[in-house]
Amino acid sequence: MKFSADTVYQIYPRSFKDSNGDGIGDIRGIIDKLDYIASLGVRYIWSTPFFVSPQRDNGYDIADYKKIDPTFGTMADFDELIKRANEKGLKIMLDMVLCHTSSAHEWFQKAINGDEHFQRYYIFRDGRAAGEPPTNWQCAFGGSAWEWQPQVGKWYLHLHDVSQPDLDWTNPEVRKEMADVVKFWREKGVMGFRFDVINLISKPEVFEDDTKGLGRKLFADGPHVHEYLRELVKNAGIDGMITVGEMASTNLENCIRYSNPDNHELSMSFSFHHLKVDYKDGDKWALMDADIPALKKLFEDWQVGMSEGGGWNALFWCNHDQPRAVSRFGDDEKFHAESAKMLAATIHLMRGTPYIYQGEELGMTNAKFTSINQYRDVESLNYYKILRDSGKTDAEAIKILGERSRDNSRTPMQWNAEKFAGFSTAEAWISSPDNFKRINVEMEERDENSVLAFYKMLVKFRKENPIVQDGDISFIERENPAVIAYRRTLGNETLIVICNFKGVETSLQEKSFDEYAAEGYKKIIGNYAEISKELRPFEVVVLQK
């Protein structure tokens, strides 16, 4: 696979590095830290949007696709970023939000002011009856996916925030506009793209109520999505470049089609099933401990299924929309380093292209906020109100947000133990957890056994070992409720990866370490110094023969 040796580093610019002391990260901040990013050994930098935006959804509500928001810098800054990154062997990937625009976009403003040409850029519909939306679909941030527009006299569809009206991809002019946007940035020197909720661009032929859910199953992976993607890739001239699609409520069959090179759609896909194993009854806002057997089954289904179908996975735990993995699946206090390293090894040695989200390589934790006033995320603020209206106390709602909020991943990058975590010379747009004084780049770089050093080793190991890049995968210890383990094979070479997802000592069930040793296996990677008879809390052991 073309990108099997590569690792991608994701940046959330607002929270990465502030260069001008306004408390908000910016493009020059990224430029200032290119040496650090290069030191990780990664190949690509994926940045979330910094285009002109009202920032209702932190930049995923775009008002102008071809201009840099002054909050983040200038086009000259961006041109310098491309140049300086290329000099260090780094390539820039940009986040493209092509499913919807901001309601502040010129197109939408013209539409609601009576321009029928631009009304066809969006999805306006009559209601079922006076005051009733066309369907019962719910938006991702809570509430109806439809909003009444009095100037037009119709409802418009917004699968996300009310300020993010969905584009109508059945209109060929919309598809041409979107291809033109991607082409514009490709010609600026961008070498890859991440496409936000791209599998939602093709809506169903008939709009009807969802009798079993919130509508996602009706409008995800729509009837023309593969056709639209092939057209976009061809017209934007990006076939063969690194491209990854964020796939909401998708399935394995479609992700194989999206990422199989023969289809000329995308080079890989993000799916999120493995990040829902701690959703009680499928509800993101209902807490439960992570179901490790379910997590293991999902990894097996997707790893083996994508391999057999010729598809390719984007491997990740963290991003700007997810809580921090070490707080979610590990132990961010007693076994902080051990669990952070174990989680890294679990996915970095799988089949696919790994993604590291800023701060993940340090083991950055959830925000641990104690008041709703500390939150900035529109989804979190909406759901706090929904939770309170449903009868939850303030303490209960804050506890849930503390586990689930997207702001957990959006706190400033922790560069050092100085004021404002070295992120800025001023108070940041969102506060940092207190642990920045012990979890930060400066301290991690001093420790040869740090989480950061472990991540660097994994990135280097992938680059140097074809078995990780291209080897087959099969799962072992399948009935062990605490362990996720798999075998990678290529020719006569074999790797065994064994991960304990519990904070207690755990036994192997299928084969002991002594038996592996008798077969000629040797430990080559681990997060404890010496191999033991049992798996220690959050231990990872990688064996090679």
- Which residues have a catalytic role annotated? 196, 246
| Euclidean distance between CA atoms 436 and 366, whole angstroms | 11
| Euclidean distance between CA atoms 221 and 214, whole angstroms | 15
* Nearest in space to 341 (alpha carbons), one of 161, 541, 475: 541
* Nearest in space to 274 (alpha carbons), one of 501, 109, 23: 501
- For the beta carbon of residue 187, count every other beta carbon within 10 angstroms: 10
For 355, counting Cβ atoms within 10 Å of its Cβ (0-12 exposed, 13-18 middle, 19+ buried), the class is buried
Q: Are strands 540-544 and 522-526 parallel, antiparallel or unpaired?
A: antiparallel
| Euclidean distance between CA atoms 227 and 247, whole angstroms | 16
Three-class DSSP category at 474: strand
Three-class DSSP category at 258: helix
Three-class DSSP category at 355: strand
> Residue 69 is encoded by which pair of tokens?
């928001």
Q: What is the DSSP string of 288-301?
A: ----HHHHHHHHHH
Tell me the residue length of the chain: 545
* Nearest in space to 174 (alpha carbons), one of 109, 234, 226, 122: 122
Q: Are 425 and 415 in contact (CB under 8 A)?
A: no
| Euclidean distance between CA atoms 352 and 307, whole angstroms | 9
DSSP E strands: which ranges in 247-401? Answer: 268-270, 314-315, 353-357
